[in-house]
Amino acid sequence: MLDTLATAPPASGATDRPPALPATERPLAGLTVLDFSQFLAGPSCALRLADLGARVIKVERPETGDLCRRLYISNLALDGDSTLFHAINRNKESVAADLKDPAHLAWVRRLVARADVLIQNFRPGVIERLGLGYEAARELNPRLVYGTVTGYGAVGPWRDKPGQDLLAQALSGVTWLNGDADQGPVPVGLSIADTLAGAHLAQGILACLVRRGVTGRGGLVEVSLLESILDFQFEALTTFLNDGGKLPERSRLRNANAYLAAPYGIYETADGFLALAMTPIPRLGELLGCPPLLAYAEPERWFTERDAIKGLLAAHLRGRPTADWLAILEPADVWCANVFDWPTLTAHDGFAVLAMTQEVARANGASLRTTRCPIRVDGAILPARRGAPRIGEDTEAIRRELES
């Protein structure tokens, strides 16, 4: 167990850190969010609202708390909780409450009556049985904006299926867009359905808060992992839906987008890799000194003969280092880039100037280096300093507030 996690050294030539927007000037300052959710989707929404200035109070089970506290990645822990939990629950408070205990439920209901936003991701029907479903919460607080995340929606044959990221990816079809044509389904290597659902929930909540400012009425916002990852595929799905149901064809070599022609992909060079986006093939042949590419003058062939073109490119690009190719292509305004790993990225001045990392800490000094909110407001970034809470560390203080 670590008290402080090691951080990458600062990049050379790093500029001064951008100004930080004070907490009292952030757009959601003065609003209170109750976060009953666990794992990633709901807490990521609450995280973003906290970054934007809201007070976020996690409502957790006594002793065990949010199960994400034990959801480890790389077996990495900090001060008794997973680093994943720390990363997604910074800048929040925590109260411990057993919602099956009438006494606990009574004071939590009082908390709901005072809140602006409630977020929950219980399986369909569970929170209703506990007495805090939308209709019950609305009776307590008509101005409440109530956000809910499910795996696959509140109705239908998948209603009670576990709402887990890989399962949502598998059902959504997105895994058939990744990898080369001779591979099976390849999942995205991140919890993309969770993260997208959290972002969509935040969008819906903010929209309802705007409406509340006009009408005084709260509202119900519902998102699901599956709907979010389906929306994420809107370009590809729209093509499928309007192309007679024809399935996308992944390239057999260096596939990066099943619907885009050559040269779109990532190619090995003599010392690394090079990313190439949309570029006319004959133009690429001229710049790279690859005469066989000059024969592909007709744009339709860039797709119908995509694999042959990519094969020629792949063989040619292995002949020189990445920097040599970039020195030719970038001045010609060809869309291309290095392919960095994280050590290379975090040591680069282009990363340093963004000031995308921050350190958050608990009161006991346990600290974590993590990313910051990617949003800027009025030219300022929105950093946090407070680390993720311990289970119930704010229970007594918040209960005293309810008595005042």
Q: Please check whether residue 129 lies inside any domain of the structure.
A: yes
Are 136 and 114 in a shared domain? yes
Is 351 among the domain residues? no
Give the residue ranges of the chain where pLDDT is below 50. 1-14
In a domain, 16, yes or no: no
> Within this chain, do residues 191 and 118 fall inside the same structural domain, yes or no?
yes
Query: Of 326, 346, 366, which residue constitutes the final position of a domain?
Result: 346
d(CA 6, CA 181) in angstroms, rounded, equals 40
Q: Are strands 81-82 and 93-96 parallel, antiparallel or unpaired?
A: unpaired
CA dihedral 186, 190, 194, 197 (to 10 degrees): -80
Please check whether residues 198 and 105 belong to one and the same domain.
Answer: yes
307 part of the active site: no
Q: For residue 136, count CB atoms less than 10 angstroms from its CB and return exposed for 0-12, middle for 13-18, buried for 19 or more.
A: middle
Check residue 59 and give its pLDDT.
Answer: 97
- Which candidate, 31, 101, 57, places its Cα nearest to that of 398? 57
Contact 209, 201 (CB under 8 A): no
Q: What is the pLDDT of residue 245?
A: 86
- Please indicate, yes or no, if residue 104 is contained in any of the structural domains: yes
Provide the greatest CA pair distance for the chain.
80
Question: What integer pLDDT is reported at residue 15 of this predicted model?
Answer: 54
Residue 292 has which token pair? 């066989």
Alpha-carbon dihedral angle through residues 195, 199, 204, 209, given to the nearest 10 degrees: 130
Q: So what's the pLDDT on residue 248?
A: 86
Structural domain boundaries, residue 98: 23-232+356-403
Q: Give the CATH number for residue 315.
A: 3.30.1540.10
Same domain, 33 and 169: yes
Helix axes 192-215, 225-232, angle to 10 degrees: 100
Using DSSP's 3-state secondary structure scheme, residue 118 falls into strand
- Judgement on whether residues 197 and 297 belong to the same structural domain of the protein: no
Q: pLDDT for 63-115, tens place per residue? A: 999 889 998 777 788 899 999 999 999 999 999 999 999 999 999 999 999 99
| Residue 240, Cβ density class (10 Å: 0-12 exposed, 13-18 middle, ≥19 buried) | middle
DSSP designation for 77:
E
In the chain, the N- to C-terminal Cα span, in Å, equals 39
Count structural domains, the chain.
2
Both 373 and 309 in one domain: the answer is no
Residues 342 and 364 in one domain: no
Q: Is residue 248 assigned to a domain?
A: no
Residues 74 and 199 placed together within one structural domain of the fold = yes
Give just the sign of the alpha carbon dihedral 33, 144, 203, 68: positive
Do 45 and 56 touch, CB atoms closer than 8 A? no
Does residue 174 form part of some domain? yes
Q: Look at residue 292 and tell me if it is in a domain.
A: yes
Residue 253: inside a domain? no
Residue of 3, 116, 194, 231 marked catalytic: 194
Closest CA to 176 of 247, 266, 238: 247
Q: Does residue 288 share a domain with residue 195? A: no
Q: What are phi and psi of 111, to 5 degrees?
A: -65, -40
- Note whether 73 and 218 are same-domain residues: yes
Whether residues 336 and 386 fall in one domain: no
**Measuring CA to CA, which residue among 221, 198, 194 is closest to residue 209?**
221
**Strand 273-276 with 265-268, pairing:** antiparallel
pLDDT at site 246:
85
CATH code assigned at 49: 3.40.50.10540
Verify that 379 and 320 share a domain, yes or no. Answer: no
